[in-house]
A and B are shown apart, each in its own frame.
Chain A
């Protein structure tokens, strides 16, 4: 954000705790000091309000970044995002552009229970007019966010709440690396089974893949990075090679991008499949708080490992 805000003074950042507090996760550290309170705006507690303010400001040429303290609170702004940001360009037949980024932490953090733990991708990927990004690595987070800020469509940017502490190389300013929206990455090469994932469960999948390698199963991991548009080509290429697939995600099992990916594979790679595709998902319940329960709601290494063994018909 810092780099983009230096390049383009139309970029403004709005949200709760983004200014003086420097972000609930310190994501906006130093921004108020550098850009002042006209461009880094602490808002009253009204997500629908500042989402609408952002959409209005975008119509006249600002490029707002709207931060939700967490995506859980975006539901208050659902109407503005779904009914307005996503459709204004279409409804006005191109007369009103809404270049806006909605971003914030997504998914379960540790022990924040039912109303604070949503992985919201299933809600927003459903909506035509929105792009949806869900990076897992620091490098992708940076490159994709730059792409999102420069894109003229409204973008939903999901930052895994448990991933803020992950360290990794990111390119320098001069490199100006842009990761295109809608391009998946082969994060680990393998021959025996494909794991398709994104966001926090990417790390669970990586760990499971290491354990499976010990058992002689080499997994290929596809990190989707964006969920709308979906890069099915990269997924299909991998599945045609491995002939087996497990989709791992945090959101509830019923519908959503996880099911969408399975649908795409069965349609375009049916003849390559040696086993039914399995999914490892969050359990179909509101998130409980107690550690022993929460651990068993989220996709675990053990569950991923087991699912991969199942598609490989191994004990």
Chain B
């Protein structure tokens, strides 16, 4: 049984017109070079997504959760942030992490959970953390990052640290209690949080119109006294522009803000999902026409800042880099057995020392009276 997602997009401004020209009122004032960087970051994300999906199909990695079709919302927002700002991710934002300079090799090591993995083989693929890149931990239970981001921002405010904390979540997560708690506390405490609702119109098989009876997700924020706007999440320049303005508002007014980025999940929920079972094809076809990469490329071409050679060179560069990373990641050894007992506590307590020793030397080695 299949059904569509019926969600309104009226009144959402776009920056890039269908012919590639720009509506300057909704576009950021940035150089062509910066625009190329935005496009290349989106392209890189898409190429990586494609390859990881293939690796999963081949059984070389266990899982991937991608961002096909949502690249503009992710990169347009992440790249508008300052280096000092923190990001609390949902789980589709590997592109945002990479755009902060996180090495591709580290990301791929995480996919393979090898000994070089930054989280030591403990987490599922796409569940990374990088404090050095001011990027919080990916949390599987929906929504928990939202209230945590508010607490993080509130503490930063108390310490007079002039940062903004951006937190990503999906349309589905707006039903979680952490969403409501987060907005409420952020409003009351004036926490410098940028709530980023990546409305891709589906929560696995549940369409947005069954997730909420609200007209849109942004309007939920107003009941908590939090300012909110919607933007075209498939238009990287409109997104970049909206986020830049929101960041200005948050620091100027010392108040939180929410942005609903309207986009569309072109692929399955994850590699474990086939959406053809529950959603209608013409909806996907319709959204394919608003592909964020196609739109931005058209704009760059209009500016004379991109051509076919650039495109194939950029793709090839990512493919090559990826191949090397995958080769190294596959060749790396798995994490040492003993490491599973690390970091449960800051120092390993006696009962875990005992378990480790039993696991590694056998149960009889430590319990002499049972010999």
Interface residues of A in 241-279 (CB under 8 A from B): 276
Task: Give the docked Cα–Cα distance between A19 and B113 (Å).
Answer: 34
| A20 close to B278 (CB less than 8 A) | yes
Task: Give the docked Cα–Cα distance between A22 and B1 (Å).
Answer: 9
| A115 close to B177 (CB less than 8 A) | no
Name the B residues within 8 Å of A286 (CB-CB).
122, 344
Which of B113, B176, B203, B359 is A283 in contact with, Cβ under 8 Å?
B359
Main secondary structure of the interface of B (DSSP, over half): loop
| A284 close to B141 (CB less than 8 A) | no
Interface residues of B (CB under 8 A from A): 1-3, 62-63, 113-114, 117, 120-125, 127, 139-143, 172-173, 175-177, 203-206, 210-212, 277-278, 334-335, 337, 339-341, 344, 351-352, 355, 359, 362-364, 370
Task: Give the docked Cα–Cα distance between A306 and B143 (Å).
Answer: 43
Tell me the minimal C-beta distance from A15 to chain B in angstroms.
Answer: 11
Binary B-proximity of A31-64 (CB < 8 A = 1, otherwise 0): 0110000000010111011000000000000000
Name the B residues within 8 Å of A16 (CB-CB).
204, 206
| 17 additional A-B residue pairs with CB within 8 Å, beyond A115-B141, A285-B352, A288-B121 | A20-B278, A42-B206, A45-B175, A46-B175, A73-B142, A111-B124, A283-B340, A284-B344, A284-B351, A284-B352, A285-B344, A286-B122, A289-B125, A290-B334, A296-B337, A296-B340, A307-B363
| B113 close to A42 (CB less than 8 A) | no
Interface residues of A in 188-203 (CB under 8 A from B): none
The 4 A-B pairs with the shortest beta carbon distances in the complex, nearest first, are A290-B121, A44-B175, A115-B140, A21-B205
Interface size class of A (residues with CB under 8 A): 35 or more
Closest to B277 in A: A21
A-B contact count (CB 8 A): 125
Tell me the minimal C-beta distance from A151 to chain B in angstroms.
Answer: 29
Task: Give the docked Cα–Cα distance between A45 and B127 (Å).
Answer: 20
Name the B residues within 8 Å of A20 (CB-CB).
1-3, 205-206, 278
Task: Give the docked Cα–Cα distance between A284 and B352 (Å).
Answer: 7
Task: Give the docked Cα–Cα distance between A276 and B371 (Å).
Answer: 12
Tell me the minimal C-beta distance from B1 to chain A in angstroms.
Answer: 5
Tell me the minimal C-beta distance from B274 to chain A in angstroms.
Answer: 10
| A112 close to B124 (CB less than 8 A) | yes
Tell me the minimal C-beta distance from B178 to chain A in angstroms.
Answer: 9
Query: Assuming the A-B contacts A73-B141, A116-B140, A290-B334, are A310 and B206 also in contact, with contact meaning beta carbons closer than 8 angstroms in the complex?
Result: no
Name the B residues within 8 Å of A111 (CB-CB).
62-63, 124
Name the A residues within 8 Å of B121 (CB-CB).
288-290, 293
Query: Assuming the A-B contacts A45-B172, A290-B121, are A115 and B139 also in contact, with contact meaning beta carbons closer than 8 angstroms in the complex?
Result: yes
A97 on the B face (CB < 8 A): no
Closest to A49 in B: B175
Which of B141, B339, B352 is A75 in contact with, Cβ under 8 Å?
B141
Interface residues of A (CB under 8 A from B): 16-17, 19-22, 32-33, 42, 44-46, 48-49, 72-73, 75-76, 110-116, 276, 283-286, 288-293, 296-297, 303, 306-307, 310
Task: Give the docked Cα–Cα distance between A17 and B121 (Å).
Answer: 29
Task: Give the docked Cα–Cα distance between A42 and B3 (Å).
Answer: 13
Name the A residues within 8 Å of B141 (CB-CB).
72-73, 75-76, 115
Name the B residues within 8 Å of A297 (CB-CB).
340
| A285 close to B210 (CB less than 8 A) | no
Tell me the minimal C-beta distance from B145 to chain A in angstroms.
Answer: 12
Name the A residues within 8 Å of B62 (CB-CB).
110-111, 289
Tell me the minimal C-beta distance from A246 to chain B in angstroms.
Answer: 12
Query: Assuming the A-B contacts A20-B3, A21-B204, are A283 and B355 also in contact, with contact meaning beta carbons closer than 8 angstroms in the complex?
Result: yes
| B173 close to A45 (CB less than 8 A) | yes
Task: Give the docked Cα–Cα distance between A15 and B122 (Å).
Answer: 29
Name the A residues within 8 Å of B2 (CB-CB).
20
| B334 close to A42 (CB less than 8 A) | no
| A293 close to B124 (CB less than 8 A) | no
Tell me the minimal C-beta distance from A81 to chain B in angstroms.
Answer: 15
Mind listing 13 A-B residue pairs with CB under 8 Å?
A32-B1, A45-B142, A45-B143, A48-B177, A75-B141, A111-B63, A113-B122, A276-B370, A288-B122, A290-B113, A293-B122, A293-B339, A310-B364
